[in-house]
Chains A and B, each alone.
Chain A
């Protein structure tokens, strides 16, 4: 059953700690994306990757880091430098880089406590 899996669904982090969100896909998609959703602000792009071992910053990359060591995996690390990390994080992938739909995971709700 192909799809995108994000884990965990809920995550709590203490201030000052780094935390890594997992995203795995078995759709054989080349491109993968991380978005953040906040109330009233839609989906904002954090990082994206078109191929393995390459990635680009999105509109709100500060305080985040990613890696793309495998085609199937695109983990996102929320660092202590991210000032407002509490949000709903969404991972997506798509077959090509243009003119195709993206498929999303179920999201991870990160709360800083």
Chain B
């Protein structure tokens, strides 16, 4: 049972817009910034979004992040087949005094 709650799966067709949610509490998302990671099959996670909504250099602007209260969201527009991956949210938890991750969302491009 992960501290942050994500839907286990999401799907969309090429060109569509999909969103992935991440729900937490006042001790984690409510008081700290959220990061998102993309893990392509068989590879290490890669930083996709940091500090709620910022993209590292090289990440397409099709990816966007937002945060409101104790929840965060990752949006992918213009879905492409290469976006098929697992996506994880993460943040610091003040009560646990450590990093916590969501359980991950497997995105399928139909």
A and B associate: no
Residues of chain A touching chain B, judged by Cβ–Cβ distance below 8 Å, are: none
